[in-house]
Amino acid sequence: MQQTLQPEKVEVSNSDQELFIKWADGHKSVFSLFGLRKNCPCVTCRGGHGRMNSFDQSLFFVEPNQYFEVESINQIGNHAIQITWNDGHNTGMYQWETLRELCPCEECYPKQE
């Protein structure tokens, strides 16, 4: 894995409903907790193995209709994190590569007209 895909810092704010990642290359990503939970990469949430890489990045830009909190984050090796959500779900492994691809910043995902 490229060094740039490694995070230097990962912080969660349940009150702000955000997960912040500062990457080794200096890039910063701020994810809404709603968008992350709704884009859970586990097979159950994705609807089967054939849809494992199908994500809806637009969910990071909608007004949430549910409130999610992160109870814990565990690092899985050097390639991913596992989030335990307040709804009890914890089977999704969020790989660093996937999180970087999903980055909702304007540089990575320009606003749609």
Q: How confident is the model at residue 1 (pLDDT cuts 50, 70, 90)?
A: very low
Q: Residue 89: which domain range?
A: 3-101
Q: Is the pLDDT of residue 111 over 90?
A: no
pLDDT at residue 99 greater than cutoff 80: yes
More confident residue, 104 or 53: 104
Would you state the pLDDT for residue 98?
93
110 assigned to some structural domain: no
The mean predicted confidence, pLDDT, of the chain is 90
Q: Is residue 60 part of a domain?
A: yes
Q: Does some domain include residue 43?
A: yes
Q: Decide if 74 is inside a domain.
A: yes
Please give the tally of structural domains in the chain. 1
Here the tokens at position 44 are 């159950």
Residue 106 resides in a domain: no
Residues 6+ apart with CB under 8 A from 49: 43
Q: Give mean pLDDT, residues 15-41.
A: 96
- Tell me if 112 is assigned to some domain: no
Alpha carbons 59 and 35: distance in angstroms, whole number: 5
pLDDT of residue 109: 84
Length of the chain: 113
What pLDDT, in 10s, does the model give residues 32-84? 999 999 999 998 888 866 666 679 999 999 999 999 999 999 999 999 999 99
Q: How far apart are CA 33 and CA 77, in angstroms?
A: 22
Whether residue 95 contacts residue 81, with contact meaning beta carbons closer than 8 Å, is answered with: no
| Residue 58 belongs to some domain of the structure | yes
Q: Average pLDDT for residues 83-94, to the nearest whole number?
A: 95
Residue 30 falls inside a structural domain:
yes
CATH of the domain at 18: 3.30.2020.30
Can you list the alpha helix ranges (DSSP code H) found in 11-55?
33-38, 43-46
CA-to-CA separations, 87 to 6, 28, 32, 40, 71, in angstroms, rounded: 28, 27, 16, 13, 9
